[in-house]
């Protein structure tokens, strides 16, 4: 497990234009674990993730690593050697090969004129292999599907070779196959490489399937934090999302499943059993 695998946010308060959107949030990302940030739109989960990535400066609180290093005190390059981020949207540069896009992740490890990165080629090759994009190394990224591009950008994050990986809604707009593949990759990074993963997800069933720990936000405050079983309860989810949500255990997988109950849900259920 990498020595810097982990990130702690303590009493974080974040605001936009003077309006607080995250209130005194505590979060701990641990090496070898996946932590899912959950909550309805506007609950502050993406802002909290961005604050951990140093893209949004908290008004209050601190962010540090397991070795005691203060994240705010590190240079941008030193921080990027410890933490990588897969944002919600990425540009699609024309005329750039996949291998070059993945190579962007090596920027923190290079000196001027792209020098001094002896491990770079091996790290890039490894990242492409893990993400299943090695066979398309010479293709232009603009020619790829959305799911393929997402895997290429994830490979760029892996090539960055950090102990902490942050992902903001990585499965959004992907079809089911690529959603499953991305979630499997996230799980592999934690299990096989000791990475501390923090991921914003909308799908509660995906969170139950992939996460070791979950943080549920409601109106900018941490409503619940713990294992998926502790957090994904009908009471917590109903309060956070403002709709009746039923939580069951899938008999085939043993995983938790969350089902929102709309105005017509009971009618459909009664019709199915008639």
**pLDDT score of 89 more than 70:** yes
> Are residues 221 and 41 in contact, defined by beta-carbon separation less than 8 angstroms?
no
Task: Provide the pLDDT for residue 198.
Answer: 98
Cα separation, 137 vs 129, in Å, equals 10
**Which H or E run contains 60?**
strand 60-64
Contact indicator for 249, 195 with CB cutoff of 8 Å? no
Closest CA to 243 of 226, 228, 260: 260
Question: Mean pLDDT for the chain?
Answer: 91
Q: Which tokens is 14 given?
A: 């974040």
What are 187-212's pLDDT values in tens digits? 999 999 999 999 999 999 999 999 99
Q: 3-state DSSP call for residue 19?
A: strand
pTM for the model: 0.90
Give residue 267's pLDDT band: very low, low, confident or very high (50, 70, 90).
low
Task: Give 44-69 pLDDT, tens digit per residue.
Answer: 999 999 999 999 999 999 999 999 99
Mean pLDDT in residue range 238-246 = 95
| Of residues 138 and 145, more confidently modeled | 138
Q: Are 144 and 117 in contact (CB under 8 A)?
A: no
User: Between these two residues, 151 and 117, which has the higher pLDDT value?
Assistant: 151
Q: Tokens representing 169?
A: 């809604």
Domains of the chain plus CATH, in order, are 6-241 (3.40.50.300)
Quick: pLDDT tens for 170-190. 988 788 888 898 899 899 999
């Amino acid at each position: 497990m990498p020595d810097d695998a982990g990130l702690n946010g303590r009493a974080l308060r974040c605001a936009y234009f003077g309006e607080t959107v995250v209130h005194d949030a505590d979060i701990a990302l641990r090496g070898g674990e996946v932590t899912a940030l959950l909550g309805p739109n506007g609950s502050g989960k993406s802002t909290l993730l961005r604050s951990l990535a140093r893209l949004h400066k908290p008004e209050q609180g601190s962010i540090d690593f397991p070795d005691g290093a203060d994240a705010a005190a590190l240079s941008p390059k030193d921080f990027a050697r410890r933490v990588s981020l897969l944002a919600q949207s990425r540009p699609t540069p024309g005329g750039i090969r996949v291998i070059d896009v993945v190579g962007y992740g090596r920027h923190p490890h290079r000196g001027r004129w792209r020098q001094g990165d002896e491990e770079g080629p091996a790290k890039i090759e490894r990242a492409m292999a893990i993400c299943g994009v090695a066979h398309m190394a010479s293709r232009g990224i603009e020619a790829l599907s959305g799911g393929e591009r997402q895997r290429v950008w994830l490979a760029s994050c892996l090539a960055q070779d950090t102990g902490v990986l942050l992902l903001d809604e990585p499965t959004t707009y992907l079809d089911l196959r690529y959603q499953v593949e991305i979630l499997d990759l996230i799980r592999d990074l934690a299990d096989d490489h000791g990475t501390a993963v923090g991921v914003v997800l909308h799908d509660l069933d995906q969170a139950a399937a992939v996460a070791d720990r979950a943080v549920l936000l409601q109106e900018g405050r941490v409503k619940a934090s713990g294992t998926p079983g502790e957090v994904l309860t009908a009471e917590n989810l109903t309060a956070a999302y403002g709709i009746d949500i039923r939580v069951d255990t899938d008999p085939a997988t043993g995983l938790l499943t969350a089902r929102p109950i709309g105005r017509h849900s009971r009618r459909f259920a009664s019709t199915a059993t008639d």
